[in-house]
């Protein structure tokens, strides 16, 4: 599919520029090469329309800018107030000019705290039209601003501020976040852990894909036998319940809830009560899937899900005992409307198929038709709610096993950057997501056309109007049973590249978010979960962003192959950052043995993705190996006579590279499970869809022979060598 043609470029008029600035929409940006790029008027206009603005005429633009300027003056309190613990903050309250106002705080625990008014003069503002429309609210034209002190000593949490002025009153959330997370307290001494794509890591008991029981086994074994402090996995976000199931864990239908394909069916207590011909048939199908674990066939999610869903459907109708029923109801209550909407979306998808085929009246979660559907199909909606409870229960078991085995952190979950444009979140959260927008990346040296990942972004203004609650609720669910959280493309908390529909990826622009509020809420929820946060800050990330993350106690990411000086030379591992998760490779690159054998070059050459001749690309890769070999030999991590052309030399080079990562000051060190077994195949080739079997490659050794979890644990010599290397 070819890129759409770019709209004819026109400069941004001054009035449109002022409106864009007011909404955080960039009209110019610095590209990776240091060139200042001017954004076209068509792009800026399309982005502002996605933010709900009318920019069709100069008069409409002027009215939109005036509305923005008066937005806060037309409300008594901010939609939300986010502050850091430790420093007093000023809270504004808007009232008819000169009228007295009372303000107090209701703490999360119910305690009432009167707030002191402070002297802070702000000129009153004339506000056109009525201020509010509810009975009892005053219609004013001149509005004053009173100021109240929010003490820095407030406890962490989500509190509520109240204001009253005559017959007028208002309330708003106040979020108090920690000044920073404390990596020293959370991590202690350096921790290391395996990094694995859970679906690819199978066992003799799993049904064609790795599951949560397998994850618990890996966590417990690596902690007890090798001293691991964590295990990092791919995102477990849910995919569509109807085939074909999306293979990419980074393009889910929701980021809040998990994919029940990872359930270990035998660990569901009611499974043992299933009997009769249906149980026999399911067991026969499960045995067939177990046999596939021993083959090198590509992973087939649809086949696995068909059998697991049949088993889950049979179990769901069995009665739960009183204890489990109470636990289920407590979980449903804890997840609130978010779980209800997700389960409803899944049920509608079951009945009506792809969202493009849904009846129009089901297009919004708040419609009467959706409420009627939920009533009519309550057993099906409950089925999807129930599966999320099972996932929550098994995730809790995995984290418990990991910690009990001695892991300092346990499971490190991964949070994708966005969701499928026609998925559950895009439907349930459509009021806070930007329609007709895909996020991606601007043109750079790796992709001169830019990238469009076709994932709808948060609308910064709408998210703030909802007090960031959808963001908070997503974090809370993901963090429920996590010792750490990796955030993919963490720059997205600061700004994202928005590409309007019908525009090529190169004709987008950056849109800013309230990063301080987003980081504060992230930190509060991580603090409450006792979890470390790691931001994937690779690529073109401005230094101030990395500094802002570090100041808040959020770790960054270091990948050995990308650790270069400004002049392109290798950065000595001793000079890497300390507050990072460091590793030799990452899921978007081949395993280390494959990378050293130019697998990343071969794949792109075979698929026609290279922008330079293959020989030139291979020469560049060879030069990189030579540069690293020099560093490794200089530090004594690689012998002088190691011959990379031999299997023994390749193995020595892999170990030496891990020694380099181990010599860095990094707080966390990851070891790819693929490097333990000598795998050479990439899990994902960026820039491809069906051209390469992305996210469908089972864990295998260097010859392509599938390796199951029991074999890794029984033959632990390579695992022990790699773990010694990073200590």
What is the arithmetic mean of pLDDT over 69-88? Answer: 96
pLDDT at 128: 79
Residues 22-29, mean pLDDT to the nearest whole number: 97
Which residue ranges make up each domain of the chain?
14-70, 86-177, 185-726
Say whether pLDDT at 489 is over 80. yes
- Averaged pLDDT for residues 63-74: 95
Taking 50 as the threshold, does the pLDDT of residue 581 lie above it? yes
Under the banding of pLDDT at 50, 70 and 90, the label for residue 65 is very high
More confident residue, 132 or 602: 602
| Amino acid 696: pLDDT | 97
DSSP letters, 122-170, are ---EE--S-S--STT----SEEEEEEEEE-TTPPSEEEEEEEEETTEEE
Using alpha carbons, list the distances in angstroms from residue 158 to 93, 147, 154, 436: 19, 21, 11, 33
In terms of Cβ atoms closer than 10 Å to its own Cβ (0-12, 13-18, 19+), residue 13 is: middle
- Per-residue pLDDT of 605-639, as tens digits, reads 999 888 889 999 999 999 999 999 999 999 999 99
Of residues 220 and 8, which shows the higher confidence score?
A: 220
Q: What are phi and psi of 256, to 5 degrees?
A: -90, -40
Q: Is the pLDDT of residue 2 over 80?
A: no
d(CA 91, CA 77): 8
CB of 153 within 8 A of CB of 89?
no
491 and 147 Cβ atoms separated by less than 8 Å: no
- Token code pair at residue 73: 């003056």
Q: For residue range 350-403, what is the model confidence (pLDDT) as tens digits?
A: 999 999 999 999 999 999 999 999 999 999 999 999 999 999 999 999 999 999
CA dihedral sign, ordered 249, 252, 256, 260: negative
Torsion of CA 438, 443, 449, 450, to 10 degrees: -20
State how beta strands 191-196 and 168-177 pair.
unpaired
Give the pLDDT confidence score for residue 566 in this predicted structure: 85
- 86-177 and 185-726: same fold? no
Which of 335-349, 535-549, 609-623 is the least confident region?
535-549
Percent of the chain with pLDDT over 90: 89
Model confidence at 464, pLDDT cuts 50, 70, 90, reads: very high
CA distances in angstroms from 41 to 154, 457, 498, 509, listed in the order given = 45, 21, 14, 11
pLDDT greater than 70 at residue 226: yes
The answer to whether the predicted template modeling score (pTM) of the entire model surpasses 0.85 is: yes
| Six-digit token string for 457 | 């972004």
Residue 568 gets the label, from left (phi > 0), alpha (psi -120 to 50) or beta, of: left
Would you state the pLDDT for residue 138? Answer: 47
**H or E, element range at 92:** strand 89-96
HSE at residue 32, side-chain half, CA atoms within 13 A, is 14
CB 20 within 8 A of CB 27: yes
Residue with tokens 């030496």: 656
Rounded to whole angstroms, the Cα distance separating 548 from 412 reads 22
In this predicted structure, what is the pLDDT of residue 141?
A: 78
> Does residue 274 register a pLDDT over 70?
yes
Q: What is the predicted pLDDT for the residue at 374?
A: 98
Q: Please, are residues 568 and 620 in contact by the beta-carbon 8 Å criterion? A: no
Reported residue count of the chain is 727
Return the bridge partners of 498, or none: 439, 509
The mean of the pLDDT values for the chain is 94
Those residues whose C-beta lies under 8 Å from the C-beta of residue 224, and which sit 6 or more positions away, are 405, 406
Nearest to 594 by CA among 446, 703, 686: 703
Cα–Cα distance list, 54 to 5, 45, 435 (Å)? 24, 9, 15
Sign of CA dihedral 500, 501, 502, 503: positive
CATH number, span 185-726: 3.20.20.80
- pLDDT, residue 140, reads 58
Confidence of residue 567 (pLDDT cuts 50, 70, 90): confident
**Domain 86-177 in CATH: superfamily?**
Immunoglobulins (2.60.40.10)
Q: What is the pLDDT of residue 207?
A: 97
Is the confidence at residue 322, as pLDDT, over 90?
A: yes
Other beta carbons within 10 angstroms of residue 202's beta carbon come to: 26
Phi, psi of 298 (to 5 degrees): -65, 150
Q: How far is CA 295 from CA 248, 263, 690, in A?
A: 21, 21, 21
* Average confidence (pLDDT) over 1-19: 85
Output b/e per residue, 653-668; b: 16+ Cβ within 10 A.
Answer: bbbbbbbbbbbbebbb
pLDDT at 133: 46
pLDDT for 446 equals 59
Which among 486, 489, 691 is positioned nearest to 609, based on CA atoms?
A: 691
Confidence at residue 137, expressed as pLDDT on a 0 to 100 scale: 52
CA angle (74, 76, 80) in 5-degree steps:
105
119-178 pLDDT tens trace: 999 999 999 765 554 544 546 579 999 999 999 999 999 999 999 999 999 999 999 999
Mean pLDDT of 295-324: 96
């Amino acid at each position: 599919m070819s890129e759409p043609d770019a709209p004819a470029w026109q400069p941004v008029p001054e009035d449109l520029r002022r409106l864009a600035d007011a909404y955080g929409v960039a009209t110019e940006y610095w590209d990776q090469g240091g060139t200042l790029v001017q954004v076209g008027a068509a792009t800026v206009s399309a982005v502002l329309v996605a933010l709900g603005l009318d920019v069709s005429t100069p008069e409409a633009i002027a009215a939109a800018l005036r509305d923005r300027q008066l937005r806060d003056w037309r409300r008594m309190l901010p939609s939300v107030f986010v502050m850091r613990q430790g420093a007093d903050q000023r809270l504004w309250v808007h009232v008819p000019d000169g009228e007295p106002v009372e303000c107090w705080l209701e703490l999360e625990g119910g305690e009432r705290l009167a707030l002191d008014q402070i002297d802070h003069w702000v000129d009153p503002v004339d506000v056109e039209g009525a201020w509010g429309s509810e009975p009892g609210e005053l219609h004013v034209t001149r509005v004053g601003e009173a100021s109240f002190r929010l003490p820095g000593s407030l406890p962490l949490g989500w509190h509520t501020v109240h204001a009253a002025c005559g017959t007028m009153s208002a309330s708003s959330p106040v979020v108090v976040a920690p000044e920073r997370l404390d990596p020293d307290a959370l991590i202690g001494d350096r921790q290391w852990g395996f990094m694995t794509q859970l679906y690819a890591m199978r066992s003799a008991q799993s049904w064609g894909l790795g599951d949560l029981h397998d994850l618990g086994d890996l966590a417990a074994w690596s902690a007890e036998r090798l001293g691991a402090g964590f295990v990092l996995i791919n995102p477990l976000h849910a995919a569509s319940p109807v085939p074909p199931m999306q293979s990419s864990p980074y393009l889910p239908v929701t980021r809040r809830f998990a994919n029940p394909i990872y359930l270990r069916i035998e660990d569901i207590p009611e499974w043992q009560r299933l009997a009769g011909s249906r149980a026999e048939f399911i067991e026969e199908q499960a045995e067939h899937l177990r046999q596939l674990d021993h083959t090198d066939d590509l992973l087939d999610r649809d086949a696995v899900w068909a059998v697991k869903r049949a088993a889950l459907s049979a179990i769901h109708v069995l009665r739960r005992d009183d204890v489990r029923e109470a636990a289920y109801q407590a979980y449903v209550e804890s997840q609130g409307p978010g779980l209800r909407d997700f389960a409803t979306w899944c049920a509608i998808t079951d009945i009506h198929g792809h969202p493009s085929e849904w009846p129009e009246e089901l297009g919004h979660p708040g419609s009467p038709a959706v409420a009627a559907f939920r009533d009519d199909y309550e057993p099906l909606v409950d089925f999807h709610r129930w599966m999320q409870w099972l996932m929550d229960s098994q995730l809790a078991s995995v984290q418990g096993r990991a910690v009990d085995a001695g892991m300092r952190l346990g499971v490190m979950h991964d949070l994708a950057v966005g969701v499928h444009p026609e998925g559950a979140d895009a439907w349930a959260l459509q009021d806070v997501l930007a329609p007709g927008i895909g996020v991606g990346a601007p043109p750079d040296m790796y992709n001169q056309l830019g990238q469009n990942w076709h994932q709808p972004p948060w609308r910064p203004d709408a998210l703030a109007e909802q007090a960031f609650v959808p963001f908070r609720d997503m974090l809370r669910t993901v963090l429920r049973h996590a010792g750490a959280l990796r955030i993919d493309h963490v720059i997205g908390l600061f700004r994202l590249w928005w590409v309007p529909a019908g525009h090529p990826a190169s004709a987008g622009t950056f849109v800013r978010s309230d990063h301080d509020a987003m980081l504060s809420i992230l930190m509060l929820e991580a603090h409450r979960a006792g979890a470390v946060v790691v931001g994937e800050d690779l690529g073109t990330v401005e230094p101030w962003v990395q500094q802002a993350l570090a100041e808040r106690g959020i770790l960054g990411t270091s990948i050995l192959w990308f650790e270069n000086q400004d002049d392109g030379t290798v950065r000595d591992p001793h000079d890497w950052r300390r507050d990072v998760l460091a590793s030799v490779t990452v899921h978007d690159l081949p395993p280390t043995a494959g990378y050293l054998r130019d697998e990343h070059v071969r794949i792109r050459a075979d698929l026609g993705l290279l922008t330079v001749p293959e020989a030139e690309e291979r020469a560049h890769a060879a030069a990189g190996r030579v540069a690293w070999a020099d560093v490794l030999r200089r530090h004594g991590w690689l012998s002088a006579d190691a011959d990379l052309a031999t299997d023994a030399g390749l193995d020595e080079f892999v170990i030496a590279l891990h020694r380099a990562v181990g010599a860095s000051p990094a707080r966390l060190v990851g070891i790819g499970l693929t490097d333990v077994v000598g795998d050479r195949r990439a899990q994902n080739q960026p820039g491809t869809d069906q051209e390469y079997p992305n996210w469908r490659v089972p864990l295998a050794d260097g010859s392509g022979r599938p390796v199951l979890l029991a074999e890794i644990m029984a033959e632990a010599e390579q695992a022990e060598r790699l773990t010694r290397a990073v200590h």
